[in-house]
Amino acid sequence: MLTLGGVWPLAHRARDYYFINNHSFGGKRFATKFAGWSIYKIYLISLGLLFLAAVTSSLGASLFGFLLARGQNGVLASNQLAIGMSVLTLSVTWVAVASYVYTRVFNLARSAQPGPIVR
């Protein structure tokens, strides 16, 4: 799984190359080329955001569960609520980070220096 995750940015770059380099408008072909490191940087930033969200969500759920369960008999219910809130937070964060990655990579592909146009 680690190996597949390591080459995923390169696969994303190859897909964007295919989409952009095989399109034309009014007889003029589009072309793009950008470094692999720039796309890895985007993925590393998103990984950091996911890690930060996971830590924050875990701490928040733990604090919420502790404060809700203190002095009450409903410890199990509050733990389930805290876990549910944590999962919801991580799900929303996952969608936001995925949108961030796809938007940044698309903008990178669009604004990159055009490569040579092969006819």
72 found inside a domain: yes
State the burial class of residue 67 (Cβ atoms within 10 Å of its Cβ: 0-12, 13-18, 19+): exposed
Domain, as residue range, for 69:
11-21+30-111
Provide the pLDDT confidence category of residue 12 given band limits of 50, 70 and 90.
confident
Does 45 have pLDDT greater than 80? yes
* Residue 57 forms part of a structural domain: yes
Q: Give residue-wise pLDDT tens across range 47-105.
A: 999 899 888 888 877 777 667 666 555 555 666 777 777 788 888 888 999 899 888 88
Number of domains in the chain: 1
The pLDDT of residue 48:
92
User: What is the pTM (predicted TM-score) of this model?
Assistant: 0.69
Using alpha carbons, list the distances in angstroms from residue 75 to 10, 59, 71, 93.
47, 17, 9, 27
60 belongs to a structural domain: yes
Pair of tokens at residue 33: 């080329």
70 assigned to some structural domain: yes
Q: In the block, which residue shows the tokens 């999962």?
A: 87
**Residue 116, C-beta contacts closer than 8 angstroms, at least 6 positions apart:** 31
Closest by CA position to 31, among listed 97, 92, 112 = 112
User: In what helix (H) or strand (E) does residue 25 lie, and over which residues does it extend?
Assistant: strand 24-25
pLDDT confidence of residue 6: 77
Segment 29-51 mean pLDDT? 84
pLDDT at 14 over 60: yes
Residue 5 lies in a domain: no
